[in-house]
């Protein structure tokens, strides 16, 4: 396979799908506005599952997201939660990113309408804490996540950056 060159001899990044997580979330809670329009949120992980070519399992009902809710439907995500692989391995994920959804799109999602992910933006950059063993490769690469949102929670597909 020929390597694509992007700039000054640096290879063009390639993405490899490694897993997709489906999270069921509890209701979002935010603090009162602090003068600047910024709020701090809290969203808990209730349950979920994940699957990929090399691992699958469930999301534990522990942890969640503490977004910094800015204005106009924009939030800076800061999620930390636990995954349990089918072989019993525990993985802690720390997921930072940007969530941007116009209020009219959010209303449609909350009504249960099928909304295209092209109408909003959820991108993340996760890091994984994994014990030594068959899944510690998750600690050795950079990943990006592309998210979807519906009235029950989030689905995020993660890709290894080559």
With bands split at pLDDT 50, 70 and 90, how would you rate the model's confidence at 33? low
| Whether residue 106 has pLDDT greater than 70 | yes
Instruction: Tell me how far apart the alpha carbons of residues 119 and 106 are, in angstroms, rounded to a whole number.
Output: 10
| Whether residue 126 has pLDDT greater than 90 | yes
- With left for phi above 0 and alpha for psi between -120 and 50, is residue 28 left, alpha or beta? beta
Please give the tally of structural domains in the chain: 1
- Range of the structural domain that residue 54 is part of: 5-161
pTM: 0.86
The 10s digit of each residue's pLDDT in 77-97 is 999 999 999 999 999 999 999
| Whether residue 40 has pLDDT greater than 90 | no
Q: What is the mean pLDDT of the chain?
A: 89
Instruction: Tell me how far apart the alpha carbons of residues 21 and 154 are, in angstroms, rounded to a whole number.
Output: 8
Closest CA to 75 of 39, 94, 99: 99
CATH of the domain at 135: 2.40.160.20
Q: Which of residues 52 and 71 earns the better pLDDT score?
A: 52
Output the CA–CA distances (angstroms, integers) from residue 33 to 70, 102, 159, in the order listed. Answer: 10, 19, 35
């Amino acid at each position: 396979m020929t390597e694509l060159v992007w700039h000054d001899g640096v290879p063009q990044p390639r993405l490899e799908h490694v897993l997709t997580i489906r999270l069921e979330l509890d209701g979002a809670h935010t603090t009162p506005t602090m003068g600047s329009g910024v709020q701090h949120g809290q969203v808990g992980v209730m349950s979920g599952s994940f699957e990929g070519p090399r691992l699958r399992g469930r999301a534990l009902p522990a942890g969640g997201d503490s977004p910094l809710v800015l204005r106009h439907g924009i939030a800076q995500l800061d999620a930390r939660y636990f995954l349990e692989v089918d072989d019993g391995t525990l993985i802690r994920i720390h997921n930072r990113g940007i969530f941007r959804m116009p209020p009219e799109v959010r209303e449609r999602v909350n009504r249960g309408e099928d909304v295209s992910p092209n109408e909003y933006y959820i991108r993340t950059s996760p890091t994984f804490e994994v014990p030594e063993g068959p899944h510690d490769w998750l600690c050795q690469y950079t990943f990006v996540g592309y998210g979807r949102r519906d009235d029950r929670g989030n689905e995020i597909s993660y890709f290894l950056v080559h």
